[in-house]
């Protein structure tokens, strides 16, 4: 039971980190400032996968 509580706490902290990034992104976007680079859900990953999806979606719309 204790392990489950720790796992849920870690999940909550990861979700809170992502939520704070989203709010910061919206704040910058709304004010016309440069938006922060995307972050991954897990801290050790990069936003490279997200950027690749955005690039592919943009290429499909242009075609």
Q: Where are the domains of the chain?
A: 2-62
Q: How far is CA 63 from CA 29, 49, 60, in A?
A: 27, 21, 5
Whether residue 47 contacts residue 38, with contact meaning beta carbons closer than 8 Å, is answered with: yes
* Stated pTM of the model: 0.62
User: What's the pLDDT tens digit per position in 1-59?
Assistant: 999 999 999 999 999 999 999 999 999 999 999 988 888 777 666 666 667 777 887 77
What is the predicted pLDDT for the residue at 53? 72
What is the predicted pLDDT for the residue at 31? 94
What is the predicted pLDDT for the residue at 59? 74
What is the predicted pLDDT for the residue at 13? 94
């Amino acid at each position: 039971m204790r392990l489950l509580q720790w796992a849920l706490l870690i999940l909550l902290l990861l979700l809170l980190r992502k939520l704070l990034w989203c709010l910061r992104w919206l704040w910058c976007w709304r004010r016309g400032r440069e938006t922060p680079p995307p972050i991954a859900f897990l801290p050790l990953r990069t936003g490279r996968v997200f950027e690749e999806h955005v690039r592919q979606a943009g290429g499909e719309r242009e075609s």
